[in-house]
A and B are shown apart, each in its own frame.
Chain A
Amino acid sequence: QVQLKESGPGLVQPSQTLSLTCTVAGFSLTSYNVHWVRQPPGKGLEWMGVIWNTGGTRYNSALKSRLSISKDTSKSQVFLKMNSLQTEDTATYYCARDSTYSSFDYWGQGVMVTVSS
């Protein structure tokens, strides 16, 4: 059964670094790409970046200077790190699997991150 689950701190102080983990089950990270998407409260979805099955990455240019995505294939985990957090980074963060036509067929439940002092 395919599953993705995000984990990480619910509260981060401004200017600090956010670290999130997406733990997957039911598929291999060597076969599928995994994306990160975020959604500020009451707003729409923003694609953040992807780590390909090969280990390569691509980021949203608006976040590129602050964002890093990596993975540990043996642990079935994908990691997101974003530095210099500001209040506008408050959002629910999702990881999602890339499938046919590059659509996102499975999503995690999301993790809410609040940036506040």
Chain B
Amino acid sequence: DIQMTQSPSSLSVSLGDNVTFTCEASENIYGFLAWYQQKLGKAPKLLIYGATNLEDGVPTRFSGSGSWTNYSLTISSLEPEDIATYYCQNNHVYPYTFGAGTKLELK
């Protein structure tokens, strides 16, 4: 199975910050990488698919980058509604494994 390693596991942030966190796959997933946002008690929400493509309706302050095994999600100018946990997912090979998540917390 492909292992997805997210870092950091948690991040203390301030509103207006530019935030980047990473996801490393244990083998090449050819850009088949999705990012999800999950708020407490809610289902995950798709933000980015295919490593770099913004899902319809997602604010443009979210952006994804990366290739091969290394990927990142950037939030530019953090808004209060961005406080959540973020998961990456391998969509290349079954099982479609998720990373353990990065939890954003306000300072």
Residue A74 CB within 8 A of the other chain: no
CB of A109 to closest CB in B, whole Å: 6
Give the size category of B's interface with A: 20 to 34
Interface centre among B32, B38, B91, B95 (most CB of A within 10 A): B95
**A108, B45: Cα distance in complex, Å:** 10
How many residues of A are in contact with the other chain, CB < 8 A?
A: 22
Of B10-18, B20-28, B46-54, B73-81, the one touching chain A: B46-54
Tell me whether A47 and B49 are in contact in the complex, defined as CB-CB below 8 angstroms, given that A103-B89, A107-B43 are known contacts. Answer: no
Judge if A58 is at the interface, Cβ distance under 8 Å: yes
Kindly specify which of A14-22, A23-31, A83-91, A93-101 makes contact with the partner chain: A93-101
**Residues in chain A within 8 A of chain B (CB atoms):** 35, 37, 44-47, 50, 58, 60-61, 94, 99-105, 107-110
8 further A-B contacts with Cβ under 8 Å, apart from A44-B100, A107-B43, A108-B43, are A35-B96, A45-B98, A47-B95, A58-B94, A100-B49, A101-B34, A101-B50, A105-B49
